[in-house]
């Protein structure tokens, strides 16, 4: 595909392709994105990308970070917001103004979504075609490190009609990111060891110090990918390259509200060593570099028995050959 390198708008085209959810398997779209993202000249786009310190600018990275903020301006912003935002791209307004507009509209959009969600939940009883039913009573029982809620709801029955009132307690944790930090050169994975009070059983001889994947909670305003990169540095002191989303799963949805986002990334395991963790959070984390086969065997033997690590090591065992080939 011939590209006119004099055209200064290919970086904007690259961002637009992802933001407008275009088909990125198209060879033409892929070529346009690759050229545009490797030849960024627009100051506004540069500033937005620098906010995230991307190591590998992929369509997935853009879709998780920049695209939602751009979309929020046009969905939740005023006409003045939209005009000023546009002028920031054509360099007739200061860059910081565009970034401020993005952040404001993004927060405003989340507020609107939360309000609409609450209104929808309170009115679901009116609709006959709702599959889940509705939460018609929700009470916060406790709010600390996590939140415990008591909810009551009805739901449609497979045989027709609806259930009686179901009462459940829900532990609300939110979302978390976990990283399979894999070194293809050494065929090794970086694991972290720390104490987990939930694994402490006085009557058991098993240790509550668990071998885990690098992981952390997704705070409000963060994207799962950002958390994956940040936690890799905080917990293991490694810089992750080629971060790729593997899958997302619910963690025990019968009583816990938590969505786990699993990523895999390339690391230099020689940099993973020592003790880590945030002092203000009383974290005490020891880093281990373990050969992939050894880690998988520990999982099979039950030495590694926490769900996220089991899921991640199984995924790695199924896909390591493809990663080695891709990351040559």
Catalytic residue numbers read 281
Half-sphere exposure of 124 (CA within 13 A, CB side): 19
Backbone Cα Rg of the chain? 23
Distance CA 171, CA 152 (A): 14
Q: Is 33 left (phi over 0), alpha (psi -120 to 50) or beta?
A: alpha
Q: Give the 3-state secondary structure of residue 309.
A: helix
Q: Which of 36, 35, 1, 43 is nearest to 15 (CA)?
A: 36
- Tokens found for residue 132: 């889940």
Whole-angstrom CA distances from 276 to 229, 231, 272, 284 are: 15, 11, 10, 6
Residue environment code for 225-256, b if the CB has 16+ CB neighbours within 10 A, otherwise e: bbbbbbbbebbbbbebebbbbbeeeebeeeee
- Residue 8 neighbours by CB distance under 10 Å: 10
Q: Return phi, psi of residue 46, to 5°.
A: -55, -45
User: Contacts for 269-273 with beta carbons within 8 Å, 24 or more apart?
Assistant: 269/181, 269/183, 269/186, 269/188, 269/190, 269/238, 271/237, 271/238, 271/239, 272/181, 272/190, 272/236, 272/237, 272/238, 273/237
Q: How far is residue 189 CA from its own chain's centroid?
A: 20
């Amino acid at each position: 595909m011939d590209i006119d390198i004099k055209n200064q708008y290919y970086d904007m085209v690259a961002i637009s392709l992802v933001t407008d959810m275009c088909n990125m398997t198209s060879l033409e779209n892929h070529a346009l994105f690759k050229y545009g993202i490797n030849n960024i000249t627009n100051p506004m786009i540069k500033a937005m990308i620098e906010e995230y310190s991307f190591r590998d600018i992929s369509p997935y990275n853009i879709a998780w970070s920049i695209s939602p903020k751009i979309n929020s301006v046009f969905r939740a912003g005023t006409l003045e917001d939209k005009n000023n935002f546009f002028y920031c791209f054509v360099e007739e307004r200061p860059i910081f103004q565009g970034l401020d507009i993005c952040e404001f509209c993004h927060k405003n959009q989340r507020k609107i979504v939360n309000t609409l969600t609450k209104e929808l939940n309170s009115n679901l009883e009116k609709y006959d075609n709702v599959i889940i039913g509705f939460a018609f009573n929700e009470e916060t029982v406790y709010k600390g490190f996590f939140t415990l809620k008591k909810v009551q709801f009805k739901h449609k029955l497979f045989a027709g009609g609806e259930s009686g009132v179901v009462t459940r307690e829900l532990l609300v944790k939110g979302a978390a990111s976990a990283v399979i930090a894999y070194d293809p050169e050494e065929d090794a994975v970086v694991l972290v060891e720390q104490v987990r009070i939930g694994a402490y059983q006085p009557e058991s001889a098993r240790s509550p110090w668990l071998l885990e994947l690098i992981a952390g909670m997704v705070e409000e305003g963060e994207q799962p990918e950002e958390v994956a990169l940040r936690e890799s540095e905080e917990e293991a002191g490694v810089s992750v390259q080629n971060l790729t989303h593997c899958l997302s799963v619910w963690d025990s949805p019968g009583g816990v509200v938590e969505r786990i986002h699993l990523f895999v990334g390339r690391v230099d395991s020689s940099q993973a060593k020592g003790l880590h963790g945030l002092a203000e959070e009383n974290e005490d984390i020891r880093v281990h570099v373990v050969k992939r086969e050894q880690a998988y065997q520990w999982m099979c033997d039950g030495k590694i028995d926490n769900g996220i690590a089991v899921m991640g090591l199984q995924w790695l065992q199924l896909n390591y050959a493809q990663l080695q080939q891709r990351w040559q």
